[in-house]
Amino acid sequence: MPIKPGPWQVAVTLALLAAAPARAEAPLSAIDWLSQSVATPAASTAPPEPAVALNGLPQDVTVTVLDAPAPDAVGLLPARVTGLPRALWGMGRTADIAALITRQHAEALPALQSLLITLLLAEADPPVDAGGKGDLLLTRIDKLLDIGALEQAAALLQASGAATVDLFRRAFDVALLTGSEDQACAAMQATPDLAPTFTARIFCLARAGDWNAAALTLQTGKALALITPAEAVLLTRFLDTTLDEGATDLPQPEKPTPLVWRLFEAIGQPLATAPLPLAFSNADLSETAGLKAQIEAAERLARVGAIAPNQLLGIYTLGAPAASGGVWDRVEAFQRFDAALTKADAPAVAQHLPLVWAQMAEAELEVPFATLYTDALLKMQLEGEAGAIAFRVALLSSRYEQAARARAPADATEAFLIGLARGSLQGVAPPDSMARAIAPAFLQPQPAADALAMLAEDRLGEAVLAAIDRIGRGVEGDLRGVTEGLALLRHVGLEDVARRTALELMLLERRG
């Protein structure tokens, strides 16, 4: 019996046909792995209006409409939590702020990564030229997606209402990677203003159990050439539940979207997440993934501050190591140390701490480890090698100053670290080149002239982003950037961030 399309399918087809001839320009902050889950709004074909001066103001003056919607003001952290003013962006321009956010690579130093995430989640007044378009909101969400912080991105999307096509695309992909695609499909169907692409519509129809409608939509999309040949093959395999299990595997795409990734998983041909953008690692946190995949995904995400250290702890202790070597050696070392600490067995802790610390350093997970265990280690008052390691662990935690006040320096390096932790380097000799770059920022802090100019224009957010960028360049070898960036952080009152960053520069092997 022929299957007749319902009103919804007809409406979708018409909407897609209307949108197909023209594509709007890519949004300011578009990332290239997003699914085309909903049709991009058609760009206007009307001829441009002639440039006519409406007043005598200079061209660089920005006009803001009072009482206009302010999507860029959406945030999760109020000023009383962040310590940052609501006028964070001041007189800054959206394009300049967005460019600074997009190029940030602060993941090498957890203190700076945490500061960046705080900026992305902060409630703040929109830039003066925002105009209610939400471009900065989109950039902030895209940066969260870029670093794999899907939980934070999802919360920001929910706070925004995800009311536009661009925001919904991101919400849909977050749902695909976090296992909540059914809710995203329901939201898509319940929102008349969204025109799902054929691929997304077929996926959602099948998820809802309407396989006949999904098959009809696939045939319609192929007939209208609105589905690529590769998509058609993949969707046919997805819908053909009777296909022989011995069928030849489909070629793996070079750059899959979350929707394509989910379709490959559904046909029994899952794609490894490790080579994909970091956001895909969230899919391996699910209990349906193997333990090794869960551990490796958690490590990748914890390394950049995308998940909490407690989540890493939970996955590390899910079960006994299944083999030896690689990640399993790290899990074994972690579990033995954790068990000794839980029993408050100081000799066993002293025995296991050097090995687990070496394993954490190899995986660049020292700061999550310090967050988890500093309090317990400080209570044990370990001595010798274990005591020296415990001191360094504490310096990478929020208890850095407490640890420094209780420690007598064993050498010149420890003396410098203690001075940094206490915020005073008077009379302390820098032991190496990195220390010599750090010291001036704590002795005679002098921010760069361009950073001071930003502050003079109330562009605090941009100045802080520029400081993060400068210090990041310092990690790669431009030590002047370390001096200027730390000086700026201290100048604007971000003393805790400055000290923790300086300690990480000294303690973490992240150079080059």
Chain centre distance of CA 335: 28
Q: How far apart are CA 402 and CA 179, in angstroms?
A: 42
Residues 425-440: what's their mean pLDDT? 96
In this structure, what token pair is assigned to residue 365?
């997970």
Residue 123's closest CA among 467, 461, 451, 495?
Answer: 461
User: If you write DSSP's letter for every residue of 125-169 in order, what string do you get?
Assistant: PPPTT-TT--HHHHHHHHHHHHTT-HHHHHHHHHHHT--SHHHHH
Residue 306's closest CA among 116, 151, 81, 461?
Answer: 151
| 46 inside domain | no
Query: What's the mean per-residue pLDDT of the chain?
Result: 88
Report pLDDT for 476: 83
Residues 27-39: what's their mean pLDDT? 80
Q: How far apart are CA 429 and CA 185, in angstroms?
A: 61
| 469 inside domain | yes
pLDDT tens digits along 361-400: 999 999 999 999 999 999 999 999 999 999 999 999 999 9
- Report yes or no: 432 and 505 within 8 Å, Cβ to Cβ: no
pLDDT tens digits along 265-324: 999 999 999 999 999 999 999 988 999 999 999 999 999 999 999 999 999 999 999 888
pLDDT above 70: residue 121: yes
Query: How many beta carbons lie within 10 A of that of residue 93, not counting itself?
Result: 17
Tell me how many degrees the CA angle 400-307-350 measures, rounded to the nearest 5: 45
| 57 inside domain | no
Total number of domains in the chain: 2
| 473 inside domain | yes
| 320 inside domain | no
One-letter amino acid for residue 352 of the chain: H
Give residue 243's pLDDT band: very low, low, confident or very high (50, 70, 90): low
**Of 69-78, 140-149, 275-284, where does mean pLDDT reach its minimum?**
69-78
| 353 inside domain | no
Report pLDDT for 48: 41
Give residue 511's pLDDT band: very low, low, confident or very high (50, 70, 90): low
What is the value of pTM for the model shown? 0.88
Report pLDDT for 244: 58
Residues 431-439: what's their mean pLDDT? 96
Chain centre distance of CA 62: 31
With left for phi above 0 and alpha for psi between -120 and 50, is residue 275 left, alpha or beta?
alpha
Tokens 């670093």, located at residue: 147
pLDDT tens digits along 246-270: 678 999 999 999 999 999 999 999 9
**DSSP bridge pairs for 196:** 38
Residues 43-66: what's their mean pLDDT? 42
CA dist 357 → 319, 366, 444 (Å): 20, 7, 35
| 163 inside domain | yes
Report pLDDT for 4: 39
Q: In which domain, by residue range, is 226 found?
A: 1-39+72-243+252-271
As a residue count, the chain comes to 512
| 425 inside domain | no
